[in-house]
Amino acid sequence: MSLFDDDRPARKTAHEIGSDLSLLSVDELSARIDLLRAEIERLESEKAKKGASRSAAEGLFR
C-alpha cells in the first residue's frame, strides 16, 4: 500500500452517454440500465416538484 493511493482518481462508476458499450458484460450493461432508470425517476420526480411549485405560484399571482 502506497502513501499516495488516495491521490489517484477514483474509478468512474457512472455511465457516460455515447460511451463504447462493446467491452461491457451483460451484467455491467444491466447495472448501467438500472442506474439510468433510477436517474430518470429522480429527474421526473424533480420535474414534477418544480411543476407543482410553478402551478402554485401561478395560482397565487392570478
In angstroms, the CA 32 to CA 13 distance is: 9
d(CA 5, CA 47): 40
Distance in angstroms between the alpha carbons of the first and the last residue of the chain:
65
So what's the pLDDT on residue 2?
59
Higher-confidence position of 11 and 40: 40
pLDDT at 5: 63
pLDDT digits (tens, 9 = 90+) for 22-57: 999 999 999 999 999 999 999 999 999 998 887 777
Q: What is the pTM of this model?
A: 0.62
> Longest Cα pair distance anywhere in the chain, in angstroms?
65
